[in-house]
Amino acid sequence: MLPPAAHIAGTSPGRSFAGSLSGGADLHETLLDTLCQNHVKRGVIHILGSLSMATLGCLDHGQEVYVTRRVEGCLELGACLGFLAPLDGKPDLVVHAVFSDISGALFAGRLLPPTRAHAAGFIVHELAGEDLARRPAPGAGRMLLGP
């Protein structure tokens, strides 16, 4: 049995896509455009590779806003995961990452635009079903993925 705070929606697998980002392409803009052109409305996204610049966000729980920080240089993604789901009827991309710079310093958080890819690959697994979207979550103060 799931705890009362958990909300789930049934989905089924759809299509899968693989591609690459390079040359300073903005990760959010390019992925969102590519997915929309292929009529993907919901999906899970995995990204590996390197970035030349990242804008990171960390949620300030008290103010319910993202505090941002920009990191530039040779950045290597150790883990990068996200999802695409409707928010207020429009496609919305949410991506979180852990990466390091050339000195080995680690960074983590939500990737926000602008975030520039140096050379990165992505895999998207489409989720079929109409129930999954970002909606207000009672008590969380945020828009969360759910039915």
Nearest alpha carbon to residue 107 among 147, 79, 141, 66: 79
Residue 88 has pLDDT above 60, yes or no: yes
Rounded to whole angstroms, the Cα distance separating 32 from 40 reads 9
Q: Determine the pLDDT at residue 63.
A: 86
Q: Determine the pLDDT at residue 78.
A: 95
Q: Determine the pLDDT at residue 1.
A: 44
Residue 45 has pLDDT above 90, yes or no: yes
What does CATH list as the number for 20-128? 3.30.1330.80
* Better-scored residue on pLDDT, 12 or 37: 37
Residue 117 has pLDDT above 80, yes or no: yes
CA angle in degrees (0–180, nearest 5) for 19-101-22: 25
Give pTM, 2 decimals.
0.85
39-58 mean pLDDT: 95
Residue-averaged pLDDT of the chain: 87
Q: Determine the pLDDT at residue 137.
A: 66
Radius of gyration of the chain (CA): 16
Which has the minimum average pLDDT: 66-70, 117-121, 138-142? 138-142
Highest mean pLDDT among 7-11, 51-55, 83-87, 90-94: 51-55
Highest mean pLDDT among 29-38, 82-91, 125-134: 29-38
